[in-house]
Amino acid sequence: MKIILTISALLMIHLIQAQTHRFIYALQYKMDSTENHYEKQNMILDITPTEVKFYGQDLAVTDSLNQKFGMNSSYTDMSGQVVKRKINSSENENFINIKNGYYSIKTTDKINWTISDETKKIENYTVQKASAKFGGRSWTAWFSKEIPFNEGPFKFRGLPGLIFELSDAKNNFIYHLIKSRELPEVYSTENFVESSFGNKAIPINEKQKYKLIMEFYNDPFAFERNNFSKANTNLRININGKEIQNVEELNTQTKSMQEVIRKYNNPVEIDKAIRYPK
């Protein structure tokens, strides 16, 4: 692992205003905890003078291409880990896609760390071990006091240095710091964090979130079902490459989709996982 970062550069950053300090983490995660397969994607941790944001790198890439070529593409981050917070705060704003909508939910996520005396080397950095329980999982972090940011991936913050490595006890989620860079200005995420490529996030609470998720689970093809009910002639609908010709076939697809939703139900905060009925 090559971390493109120097201590001397970090000592200078505090003298520069309106700058974004970007750290990129390689994330491996299991959508189904019973399988060995990992999804892989890079995640960005942006630290500015006022805010901290964590989101998928592909969101930023899509936005950049849109602006450069006048495109109108969109991208949905499947990690479920798009958050922002004020600097030095554990008050997070979480951004999620549900059905065809984009929403934000505020949470308080204080993490109580236990710091060990155990250390090791990552590249040229000395990192120290810490552990915590959060979101229904047990976590181990390796952080470096040589990097003066008390931040890390997702909601994991509060240690006296930047988190280099992080994983839960069952290795469902594994993060490795792989790169860093400094941006000359505060990097705008208004097109893909605070909004989803044109759809501004709608604030909701946990109760409203549960209602929306269950509405989707109970009838994931509600739009298509409505079209069938309105059609005066034979209607053909394509779902995942399969042509659906009647409501009975749509019901079969609905059951299949519900099985998929139940199977891939392994969020970082497992204590907030929806208990879907079978």
Q: Dump pLDDT digits (tens) for 2-47.
A: 554 544 455 444 445 548 999 999 999 999 999 999 999 999 999 9
Among all chains, which residue has been given the structure tokens 């998720």? 213
Largest CA distance in the chain: 72
Lowest mean pLDDT among 10-14, 162-166, 224-228, 253-257: 10-14
Cα(264)–Cα(114) distance, rounded to whole angstroms?
31
Lowest mean pLDDT among 90-94, 248-252, 254-258: 248-252
Cα(229)–Cα(238) distance, rounded to whole angstroms?
16
Give pLDDT, residue 224.
82
**Among candidate residues 59, 26, 88, 3, the one with its CA nearest the CA of residue 188:** 59
Among all chains, which residue has been given the structure tokens 């907030």? 272
- pTM for the whole structure: 0.91
Amino acid (1-letter code) at residue 23? F
Among all chains, which residue has been given the structure tokens 């609470």? 205
Give pLDDT, residue 7.
43
Q: What angle do CA 136, 137, 141 make, to 5 degrees?
A: 140
* Residues whose CB is less than 8 angstroms from the CB of residue 9 and which lie 6 or more positions away in sequence, other chains included: 182
Residue spans per domain, the chain: 7-200, 205-272
Mean pLDDT for the chain?
91
Label residue 79 exposed, middle or buried (CB < 10 Å: 0-12, 13-18, 19+): buried
Give pLDDT, residue 3.
56
CATH of domain 7-200: 2.50.20
Per-residue pLDDT band at 97 (split at 50, 70, 90): very high
Q: What is the mean pLDDT of residues 112-133?
A: 97
Give pLDDT, residue 237.
79
Q: What is the mean pLDDT of residues 123-136?
A: 96
Per-residue pLDDT band at 222 (split at 50, 70, 90): confident
Among all chains, which residue has been given the structure tokens 């120097």? 6
3-state secondary structure of 234: coil
| Cβ atoms within 10 Å of 76's Cβ, excluding its own | 12
Lowest mean pLDDT among 76-85, 195-204, 248-257, 262-271: 248-257
Amino acid (1-letter code) at residue 155? K
